[in-house]
Amino acid sequence: MSRTVNFRAQNEVTTQMIGRAAQACLDGRGSQYEYCNWWVVQNEAREVIGLMMHTSPLNLVLSDMPENVIANCVDTVLQDDPDFSGVNAPQKLAKLFIEKFQAKEAQNNRFSLGISLHSYVLGKLRKPDFSSGIARVAVEQDFEIVRRWRQAFIVETEIDTIDNDELTRKAIGSNRIYIWENEGTPVSMASFTPFVETPASKITSIGGVYTPPDQRKRGYASSIVAFLSEFLIDQGLTVMLYTDAKNPTSNKIYIDLGFEYVQTNDNWNRG
């Protein structure tokens, strides 16, 4: 982590996913991965100019990096981890990586586009008119509804992630899941990740924002994200999030709250 700290500080939003997974493994929180591979991309002056990781069974992840190093990255992955399941990278780099890979690998070289994710970082929070209800931290008694909503979120978004009962319980136990409750009934949910620290800031990502279909269009998602954003800002954290590029509703919600667009990553699934 220390070797890449300056690069991550300069690219804290676009490397947050890689930094978070690396920190989890260092802290002993990476048991959900089958295996992990990490690569540091350097220039001739041995300066860090990019990062790659593969936390199987998830897709290979590339940070931003110069296009002229992608061919070397493909060679390295073919040597170290040829059975990777797909690629998650900034749009142009993802397509370039696949082109270079297909030119060198004749077998199992088909890819299909999965979800495209916009990344946003919070500028100045613009609080909405809060919906009726209150936000509260999820507790063990909420496990079943949280588990059900997390699974529904994954199915609905087709996001490349890992979720199981153990991870859900850990998130609840560490007070990282919040519920918006109206008249005693849970109506929406959001969570946040453990923060990643660089010299630039401590950064966390809000995710798992889910409102069941029968409770939508009532402002609950806006309310809980705004509440959670303010809570995290008050702790001195930089707040970011990812959202489905094809979901205009969620994108509008986050932009209206003050989130600023950073870039788009494409997830290409292999096979």
Mean pLDDT value of segment 198-216 = 95
Closest C-alpha among 249, 264, 271, 255 to residue 115: 264
Instruction: Tell me the mean pLDDT in the region 130-159.
Output: 95
- Residue 43: its pLDDT value, please? 95
Three-class secondary structure of residue 233 per DSSP: helix
**1: pLDDT strictly greater than 80:** no
At residue 158, the pLDDT reads 86
Q: Are 101 and 74 in contact (CB under 8 A)?
A: yes
Report the C-alpha gap between 50 and 47 in whole angstroms: 9
Distances (CA, A) of 53 to 48, 105, 168, 183, 249: 14, 20, 24, 44, 31
pLDDT at 106 over 80: no
- When pLDDT is averaged across residues 121-126 and rounded to a whole number, the result is 97
Residues 6+ apart with CB under 8 A from 230: 125, 127
- Going through the chain in order, the beta strands assigned E by DSSP cover 35-42, 48-56, 60-62, 86-90, 111-122, 134-137, 177-182, 185-192, 196-197, 202-210, 238-244, 259-270
Is 27 a residue whose pLDDT tops 90? no
pLDDT tens digit string along 168-196?
Answer: 999 999 999 999 999 999 999 999 999 99
Amino acid (one-letter) located at 122: L
pTM > 0.95: no
Comparing C-alpha atoms, which of 50, 52, 43 is closest to residue 77? Answer: 52
Domains and CATH numbers, the chain: 2-117 (no CATH), 121-264 (3.40.630.30)
Residue pLDDT, tens place only, 51-72: 999 999 999 999 999 999 999 9
Beta-carbon-side half-sphere exposure of residue 52 (alpha carbons within 13 Å): 26
**What was the pLDDT predicted at 145?**
97
pLDDT at 208 over 80: yes
Q: Is the pLDDT at 29 greater than 90, yes or no?
A: no
Give the mean model confidence (pLDDT) for residues 120-136: 95
